Chains A and B, each alone.
Chain A
Amino acid sequence: MKMRRSLFTRVALPVAVAILGVLVWAGGPAVAAFTTALSSALIGIKGTVSGTPESVAFSGQAKIGSKMVTDPDFGNPPTVVLSIDLSNVTGVGSSTGKTYVTPSRVILDRRLTAADTVQVPFPFFPSGGNGMSARVGMASFNLSFNVNTGMLTGATGGIASP
């Protein structure tokens, strides 16, 4: 069995350093101010979620907030913090005419790309009801960003069954 010699015996330590390391001194991460770019969009969204006890036709406005954050300290690609709020989207039951609501809001960290597709399952239930009876629909968004500024430049969306 091949044995590895401890690097940290009293004698071996300087040798180990010589073997392992080039004496490199470098500063920590550069202290640089990060930048943010805030943008938002209200987009019309609609679609039908089928299922029992009835299909539900949704419509309304989805509020999409976008915050791009740069990383000058480590030079990593910018992050986009997305907030997708569907609380102004309501549904109507196909057979009962009941109103359905969703409290859905999600917050996502996403990589900044020119085009991003985000699918957000959302719970919904009859108005006045609660989450114990919730069903689930799927909202899908196609988002466009200016990768130079981090601004949200376009958004479309739709609702369907999950």
Chain B
Amino acid sequence: MSFFLSSKDSKKRLKEAENARKNRLEILKAWSQGQISRRDLLKWGLFTMGGVLISKQGLSPFVRSAYADNIPTGLPASPLFGVQDFSTPMPRFDVLARNPNPSTFLNPSPMAQSNQTQQVLNTALEGVVAGDTGPIEGRPPGPIWAHQGFNDFPPKIAIEVTQEGAKTNTVYNPQVASNFNSGIDPTAPIPLKFHPGLPTQNLNSVWTFNGTIPPKLVIGRYAEPILTRHHNKLPFDVRQNGGFGRHTISTHEHNGHHGAENDGFTGAFFFPGQFYDYHWPIVLAGFRTINTAATDPRAATPDDNGGTVRIPGDWRETMSTHWFHDHMFSFTSQNVYKGNAAMFNIYSALDRGNEGINDGVNLRLPSGTLKSFGNLEYDVNLMLAEKAWDANGQLAMDIFDFDGFLGDRMTVNLTYKPFFEVERRKYRFRILNASVSRFFKIALSDASPMIQIANDGNLLPVPVTLTQLDEQGIAERYDIVIDFSRYSIGQKVWMVNLAEHQDGKRVANDLTLAEALSGQSSDPCVGKFLEFRIVRNPATPDVSQVPAAMIPNPDLSNVPVARTRTFEFGSGGQNTNDPVTSFFGPWGIKTDDGDSLNADFGRISAAPRFGTREIWTLANGGGGWDHPIHIHFEEGQVLARDGSASNVPAWEKGRKDVYRLRPGGSITITMQFRDWGGMFMEHCHNTVHEDNAMLLRWEIDDNGAPFLRPLPTPIPKPQGVTFEAPDDILPTAF
């Protein structure tokens, strides 16, 4: 059964599906704008208790037609307006400006505590009346939400960015010459289109960083703290959302080792007209206790002259490929899908971004040589996300299928099936799965080998040679190296997706390469999605390497295990009924064999003690779905899958922050809790599952003043953030 209809289906069938889509979008629009609640929908009988839209013809296009039960009711395919595959270049990411001296560059200057200077509020904001005032910064006030370590790690770089509606990009900075960007002229205005031949997106169809494409990239390095000031320039009126998306946002640096006030906590969202200062100190984990004298040359950061500066911390905790995205409570899927997703490359002495420096520490991974660090010529960020659009070409979403949302058009860097020109040499690709619910499984069309060097934010202990990558869940990052020297100039090779979906619950079938290339799959996102064109020899010899050893895991054998915890992810859940902090949905989490609970960011489900190590087992409560589980803040080492260490594949033997459970599977990990404190989250990164309501809060909160135990829950309003006591603390939390 296909979940998208063919254009060859009957007109009646297509009309029925289009009507269903429009009806669902009406409901979605009303829901996203706050006109109705999920409880209203239940009351009216449009939802079942499990949260699933009733199977009624004309309302749910994913269920069988009431007219003919053997006909699947799918969405009409997103129209292509005559656009051909692989007919436009893939743009490199748009690098955000790095501004020195944040205290003078930013106005007002960043502060340790939230800036509570008052401003007159726009009355279009919900709950605001004429004359109301509220703080200019949305970060919760007071010492608990002050930037931890702000004086020890004062920001050296300011990143100032907005969230706003679609507009033309006139300041594109790929940070590489045009010949490394498939000939794209960076001075040419870039309208917000998924392809030059597709319609321009309306102002509120797409909300991206700075309102533009290509997606944004932050360049950072260890020991150079960044202050990211994120301005919310989305519409004041919650109804001005183009049918989906919420105008309140919270920005998660995935997966930063920072204090919780900079983590993008789901309940610490901010409103249009406000900014939020995120302080990313970029330190090596363990800096308070390991290598405190900064004597280890491997624990170091690149300077501007080809050398390094040693820093405290554990060099084995060095991280590389991050991303950041919205984490608005119960609206993450809509907002990320709408464009709130960017990437963040972190450079270090080990992962220098300069392949030419041979100092015995630098791993010399493919990158370039022009700058001391952070060269992008041969180090390419790829953001994979499938989209859907309506008959007018405007981005469309259907969140009423709580299995998950699947689009039908593959994009790379928000461009529909593009091509990318490469030289005959090695390239590094940092692949991010930025989809809502879709898993990918990537191969090259000729089955040539790829070398996986990193999983999530972490370089692996040793590289792994593969002809097909493992399934890549939502939010996972796979860094790979492809050597194009095996090809001749003029040849082409394609990236291919092998993972076939029928719904958003899980991969239905991992196809063989031949099956995926056959064109027989009913899933329109199976098959080729990115074309590499081998266009020339490199101007200088390729001196990059893929060393046999990269970054080993920290040895935790001498760190006692303070606690073990279990989390089971499945269907159904009890709800605390707090109208602000809880959310009703068909998905829930059982903690330590307790009840299955819906999300409530006022509930504390776990509270590891500062400075300890724990072992957590994440289990899938069902066989009919998969969940990519993300744990904020801490990197974990995978100890076992389905109870056995031998089931852990080579590419999962580094550290990770997203853990695919597999159908009916479990994974056991170990983590340390140190350096920073506050409230963090654990959730399914199928963001439809997360929003409905597979998310929990955990916290580290006994690192001394000013922390409280437990931490009060922030309740954001335009007039300011208030606090309330946690509405629930699980008996095994502390």
Contacts and interface: CB of A to CB of B under 8 A. Distances in A.
Contacts of B44: 17, 21, 23
Interface stretch (B47-55, B101-109, B121-129, B529-537): B47-55
Given A109-B471, A162-B447, A28 B50 contact: yes
Contact of B512 (A21, A67, A72, A118): A118
B571 A111 contact: no
Contacts of B285: none
B451 A28 contact: no
Contacts of B464: 103, 131
Interface in A25-55: 25-29, 31, 34-36
B452 to A, nearest CB: 9
Nearest to A138: B447
A109 B49 contact: no
Interface stretch (B27-35, B86-94, B246-254, B297-305): B27-35
A21 B27 CA distance: 12
Nearest to A136: B447
A69 B663 contact: yes
A45 B645 CA distance: 26
B706 interface: no
Interface in B633-648: 642, 647
A25 B467 contact: no
A120 B449 CA distance: 12
B548 A130 contact: yes
A105 B468 CA distance: 10
Contact of A73 (B58, B463, B624, B647): B624
Given A21-B59, A136-B449, A29 B471 contact: no
B45 A22 contact: yes
A34 B546 CA distance: 43
B489 interface: no
A119 interface: yes
Interface string B620-633: 00111100000000
A57 to B, nearest CB: 20
B202 interface: no
Contacts of A6: 26
Nearest to B447: A121
Nearest to B464: A103
B465 A34 contact: no
Contacts of A7: 23, 26-27, 30
A8 B44 CA distance: 13
B465 A79 contact: no
**Best-surrounded residue of B29, B570, B572, B622 (most CB of chain A within 10 A):** B622
Interface residues of A, number: 56
Interface string A6-26: 111000010011001111111
B546 A109 contact: no
A70 interface: yes
Contacts of A79: 506, 623, 663
Contacts of B54: 21-22, 24, 26
Given A28-B50, A79-B663, A109-B510, A8 B36 contact: yes
Nearest to A34: B623
B624 A8 contact: no
B505 interface: yes
A125 B465 contact: yes
A119 B466 CA distance: 14
A74 B509 contact: no
A81 B468 contact: no
A26 B26 contact: no
Given A28-B51, A121-B467, A134-B465, A22 B513 contact: no
Given A17-B45, A79-B623, A28 B572 contact: yes
Contacts of A162: 446-447
Contacts of B612: none
Interface in A113-146: 118-123, 125, 130-132, 134, 136, 138
B58 A122 contact: no
B571 A29 contact: yes
Contact of B48 (A24, A78, A122): A24
B322 interface: no
A18 to B, nearest CB: 10
A74 B49 contact: no
B308 to A, nearest CB: 26
B623 A70 contact: yes
A76 B624 CA distance: 7
Contacts of A70: 623
Contact of B467 (A26, A29, A108, A122): A122
A70 B620 CA distance: 13
A107 B499 CA distance: 12
B45 A28 contact: no
Contact of A21 (B56, B499, B548): B56
A4 B624 contact: no
A148 B625 CA distance: 21
Contacts of B426: 132
B586 A29 contact: yes
Contacts of B27: 7-8
Nearest to B509: A111
A81 B35 CA distance: 44
A106 interface: yes
B449 A109 contact: no
Contacts of A69: 623, 663-665
A4 B50 CA distance: 30
Contacts of A23: 44-45
B729 interface: no
A141 to B, nearest CB: 10
A104 interface: yes
Contacts of A138: 447
A73 B49 CA distance: 15
B421 interface: no
A114 B449 CA distance: 31
B592 interface: no
A116 to B, nearest CB: 10
B159 interface: no
Contact of B505 (A21, A74, A78, A83): A74
Nearest to A82: B510
B467 A21 contact: no
Contacts of B50: 26-29
A29 B52 CA distance: 9
Contact of B623 (A78, A83, A111): A78
A28 B571 contact: yes
A55 B48 CA distance: 61
Interface in B1-35: 22-23, 26-27, 29-30, 35
Contacts of B655: none
Given A136-B447, A162-B447, A34 B624 contact: yes
A136 to B, nearest CB: 5
Contact of B622 (A13, A34, A107, A122): A34
B623 A123 contact: no
B59 A20 contact: yes
A145 B533 CA distance: 42
Given A26-B50, A28-B572, A29-B586, 9 more contacts: A8-B29, A31-B571, A67-B642, A72-B623, A109-B508, A121-B447, A125-B465, A134-B465, A138-B447
Would you list the 6 A-B pairs with minimal beta carbon distance, nearest first?
Answer: A28-B50, A131-B465, A71-B624, A34-B623, A23-B45, A69-B664
24 contacts: A7-B23, A7-B26, A21-B54, A24-B45, A27-B49, A34-B664, A67-B665, A69-B664, A69-B665, A71-B622, A71-B623, A72-B624, A73-B625, A81-B663, A106-B466, A107-B471, A108-B510, A109-B506, A121-B447, A121-B513, A131-B449, A131-B546, A132-B483, A138-B447
